[in-house]
A and B are shown apart, each in its own frame.
Chain A
Amino acid sequence: MKSPVFRFLRELLSRLHDSHREDAVALTQVEMQELENIFALLVLGSFVGLPAPPSFLAVELLPFMERELKIMSRRAEDAGDMLAEMCGTLGID
C-alpha cells in the first residue's frame, strides 16, 4: 500500500505535467477556435450579411454546428475588446 504522501506527490507531478501540456496546446486551441469561427461564419454568413453558400447547405449543416455557433457568438461578443482578447491569448497580464 502506497503512503498518502507518495500519492499526493504523484498527483502533484501529474497535475504539473498536465498544466504544461495545456500551456503547449493553448495557442493551437485558439487557432482551432478561430478556424471553427471562420467555418461558422462561412456557412451562416447570410445572417450577418456575408456572401453565403446556397441556403440549403447552411440548413443541412445547422443541426451539427452547435459548438461553432457558440464560438461564433462568443467571438462576436468579444469583438468589442480585441486588445484584451489578444492579451489574454498571448498571456500578457
Chain B
Amino acid sequence: MKILFFTGKGGVGKSTIAAASARQISRRARVLVQSLDPAHNLGDIFGVRLGNGKKKISETLSLEEVDLQKLAREYLERETRVLGETYRYLQVLNLDSYFSILKYSPGIEEYALLTSIERTVNEETDFDYVIFDTPPTGLTLRFLALPSVTITWVDRLILIREKILEKRHTIQKIRRPLKEGEIPREERLKYDAGDDAILRRLRDFRVNYERLNSLLQGAACTVVLVFNPDMLSLRESQRLVEGLRELRLPLRLLVNNKITDRNRDMAEKVEAAMRNTAPDVPVEQVPLSASLYEGNETVLYRIAKDLGDRF
C-alpha cells in the first residue's frame, strides 16, 4: 500500500489536487481518499454528501471525511472508562468534568489524527493507495512530529522506569524470601520487567511509534506540497519544507497550483524560490480552474496532466 499526504497552507487547493490525483490513480488502482482537514470539502469537490464512514464513488475510488472532534471525544471517553475502573475511590471527584477539560489540552487533537491515520493504514488493506488530505500546515507538522517527540519522551521514561525496577530488585534480594503463606509486613513491589504495567505500556508505545515513524519515513510514503503563486504561500511552504526535512519525511512532489495568465510572472518567481528551497523535488504546474461544476459533474479534479503517474 502507498500512502500519500497532500499538505500546504490553508486554501492553496490541497483537497482539489488530492482529489485530482485520486481520480487519475483510480484508473489503474484502488484508492481511498481521506480528509483529515476539520474544514472538509472533499464531498463538495466530488459533488456528493459524505456522512459517517467511507463512500464509494466508483469501483476503485472511495472517499471518507474524518471527524476529528468525534475521534478525540471517543479517545477520551475510552481513557476515562479505564481510569474510572482503576481509581474507583476517586469517582466522587467527578472524573467526567475533569476530562472535559483535557479535550482542550494541547496534543489531544494531533494524537487523534495520528491514531486515525494509523488505523486507516492498518485496516484499509484492500486499497493500493491511501491519500490523506491534511489540515493546514501548523497542525500537520505537529501531528507528523508526534511519533519522534513521543519516542524521545518514551525512551527517557523507560530509562527511569528500568532504574526503579532495578532498585526494587536490589531491595528484594536483601530481604529474605517469603515463606509459604506468609504475609509480609512491608510492601513488596514487583520488580520483574514483565510484571510492571507501566514499563510494558511504555515499551508497547515505543514499538508502535517506531513502526509508525519508519512507515512515514519509508519508501511507501509520499508527501506532496501544494502552493500558490503568492508570497505568503511561498513563505509558509518554505517553512513546511524545512519542517519536513527535520522530521525526515519524504517530500517527493511540489505542485504550483492556481496559475493564470495574470499571475504567471509571480508563479515563475515563487517556483524558482521553491526549487531553491527543495532542489531535488520535481514541480508540477496546475492552472486555475474557472468553474466548479459542468452540469451536475464537478470539473475541479479534471487536471489535464496525469499527476498520478508520479506515484
Give residues in A with beta carbon < 8 Å to B: 17-18, 21-22, 24-25, 28-29, 31-32, 35-36, 38-39, 42-43, 46, 53-57, 59-67
Contact = CB atoms under 8 A, between A and B. Distances in A.
Given A39-B161, A53-B153, A64 B197 contact: yes
Interface string B63-102: 0000000000001100100110111000000000000001
Shortest Cβ-Cβ A-B pairs, 9 listed: A32-B167, A53-B153, A56-B111, A63-B86, A64-B197, A55-B107, A54-B107, A55-B105, A25-B171
Given A21-B175, A55-B105, A65-B198, A60 B79 contact: yes
A4 B176 CA distance: 24
A57 B157 CA distance: 11
Interface of B: 75-76, 79, 82-83, 85-87, 102, 105-108, 110-111, 146, 149-150, 153-154, 156-157, 160-161, 163-164, 167-168, 170-171, 174-176, 185-186, 189, 197-198, 201-202, 205
Nearest to A15: B185
B150 A32 contact: no
Nearest to A68: B198
B171 A60 contact: no
Contacts of B198: 61, 64-65
A66 B111 CA distance: 24
Given A54-B149, A56-B108, A39 B164 contact: yes
Given A42-B157, A53-B153, A56-B108, A21 B201 contact: no
Nearest to B200: A64
Contacts of B102: 55, 59
A39 B150 contact: no
Given A39-B164, A55-B107, 16 more contacts: A18-B176, A28-B167, A28-B174, A29-B171, A32-B167, A36-B164, A53-B153, A54-B107, A54-B153, A56-B75, A60-B201, A61-B202, A62-B79, A63-B79, A66-B87, A67-B189
Contacts of B154: 57
Contacts of A29: 167, 171
Contact of B107 (A24, A56, A65): A56
Given A35-B167, A55-B102, A66-B87, A43 B157 contact: yes
B59 to A, nearest CB: 38
Contacts of B76: 59
Contacts of B105: 46, 55
A53 B175 contact: no
11 contacts: A18-B176, A24-B174, A29-B167, A29-B171, A43-B157, A53-B157, A54-B153, A56-B108, A57-B205, A62-B79, A63-B85
B176 A39 contact: no
Given A42-B156, A56-B111, A35 B150 contact: no
Nearest to A36: B164
B171 A28 contact: yes
B139 to A, nearest CB: 14
Contacts of A42: 156-157, 160
Contacts of A38: 160
Nearest to B166: A32
Nearest to A56: B111
Contacts of B161: 39
Contacts of A64: 86, 197-198, 201
A66 B189 CA distance: 13
B83 A22 contact: no
